[in-house]
């Protein structure tokens, strides 16, 4: 069989990944760089062009040998039909960016654009923790909170591509601004940065002993028996669980995949979120439905594999 190559890129708030994968699913090139600061679209486009050049030179290929051009997923509210990123809180893009057109011109090949969590749910469904499931909720809890929905065997994008933004549902909370420009979103109270922010406001300082308060510091304090830190974590767990319970009641999934830095390696955190989901969702959706709640399997490459699944035409549109 003739070797074909697919290029998948994941642009996030902290890192950019570029993979070349062959038609057997073998990764033949991978590179990770830090997202440039400030995150101007032109600079990001330039970085991706350089990464692709490096990949092609390393493998002695040219652009025309890339099957289906380049697939990109990005943290932001993406209209995949016209390839516009309408807003990206993580990249501090507050105005629409016609990223697909910018990339197409700079890369001189066709470009496909998708939201990163939408790509990640596809990655987990086709290659990761949710193989075989037709109704999946994916949530990633890190600096922010992202979400993707796979319903009835298909990616559910909504009418214009903005569905699945679990981080910005509003089940609770009061008077806290969110990166999206709204107020009291789930993300503003229960993401990694929100946990640190809660601690900073409780301790009335962004620093403790000259060190910036971080999410992992709050976790360490909670483990060491600090009741205030433990209360912040419990609040985040309870509200993440309640937020997801609402989605379970609404969508009746058979699998919830939870990823992101806040949850990574913390099986107890995941277990407690699961307990809240089972308390708060309607009973049949957790008792009759064999609902499983599992950690993400492909991090930090879930988006890359979702893009690969789209480009290799495995995804039902």
Total interface residues for Zn ion by CB under 5 A: 5
Contact 76, 115 (CB under 8 A): yes
Q: Whose CA is closest to 109, among 61, 159, 151? A: 61
C-alpha dihedral sign at 191, 120, 291, 167: positive
CB nearer Zn ion, residue 122 or residue 178: 178
DSSP strands (E only) in 51-182: 66-74, 77-79, 84-87, 111-115, 136-141, 145-151, 154-155
Distance separating alpha carbons of residues 303 and 7, to the nearest angstrom: 12
CB nearer Zn ion, residue 90 or residue 285: 90
Looking up tokens 């209360």 gives 231
Distance separating alpha carbons of residues 246 and 158, to the nearest angstrom: 18
185: phi then psi, degrees, rounded to nearest 5: -70, 160
Binding mask 135-174 for Zn ion (x = CB under 5 A): ---------------------------------x------
CB nearer Zn ion, residue 262 or residue 286: 262
Nearest distance in Å: CB 43, Zn ion: 25
Nearest distance in Å: CB 88, Zn ion: 12
CB nearer Zn ion, residue 10 or residue 187: 187
Nearest distance in Å: CB 76, Zn ion: 13
Nearest distance in Å: CB 267, Zn ion: 28
Binding mask 29-48 for Zn ion (x = CB under 5 A): --------------------
Contact set for Zn ion, span 178-197 (CB under 5 A): 178, 180, 182, 185
Q: Longest C-alpha distance within the chain, in Å?
A: 63
What token pair was written down for 124? Answer: 């987990």
CB nearer Zn ion, residue 84 or residue 180: 180
Q: What does the binding site for Zn ion look like in residue numbers (CB under 5 A)?
A: 168, 178, 180, 182, 185
């Amino acid at each position: 069989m003739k070797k074909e190559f697919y290029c998948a890129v994941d642009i996030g708030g902290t890192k950019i990944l570029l993979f070349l994968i062959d038609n057997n699913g073998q990764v033949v090139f991978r590179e990770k760089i830090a997202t440039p600061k400030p995150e101007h679209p032109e600079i990001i486009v330039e970085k991706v062009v350089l990464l692709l050049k490096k990949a092609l030179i390393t493998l002695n290929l040219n652009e025309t040998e890339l099957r289906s051009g380049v697939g990109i997923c990005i943290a932001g509210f993406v209209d995949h039909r016209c390839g516009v990123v309408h807003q990206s809180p993580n990249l501090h893009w507050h105005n629409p960016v016609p990223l697909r057109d910018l990339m197409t011109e700079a890369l001189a090949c066709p470009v496909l654009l998708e939201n990163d969590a939408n790509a990640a749910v596809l990655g987990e469904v086709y290659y990761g923790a949710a193989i075989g499931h037709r109704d999946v909720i994916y949530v990633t809890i890190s600096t922010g909170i992202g979400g993707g929905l796979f319903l009835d065997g298909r990616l559910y994008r909504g009418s214009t591509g903005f569905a699945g933004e679990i981080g910005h549902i509003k089940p609770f909370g009061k008077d806290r601004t969110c990166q999206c420009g709204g107020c009291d979103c789930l993300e503003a109270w229960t993401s990694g940065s929100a946990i640190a922010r809660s601690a900073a406001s409780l301790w009335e300082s962004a620093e403790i002993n000259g060190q910036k308060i971080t999410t992992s510091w709050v976790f360490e304090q909670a483990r060491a028996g600090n009741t205030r830190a433990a209360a912040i974590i419990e609040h985040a767990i309870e509200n993440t669980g309640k937020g997801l319970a609402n989605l379970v009641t609404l969508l009746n999934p058979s699998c919830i995949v939870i990823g992101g830095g806040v949850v990574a390696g913390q099986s107890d955190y995941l277990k407690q979120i699961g307990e809240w989901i089972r308390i708060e969702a309607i009973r049949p959706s957790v008792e009759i439905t064999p609902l499983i709640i599992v950690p993400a399997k492909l991090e930090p490459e879930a988006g890359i594999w979702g893009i690969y699944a789209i480009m290799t035409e495995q995804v039902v549109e």
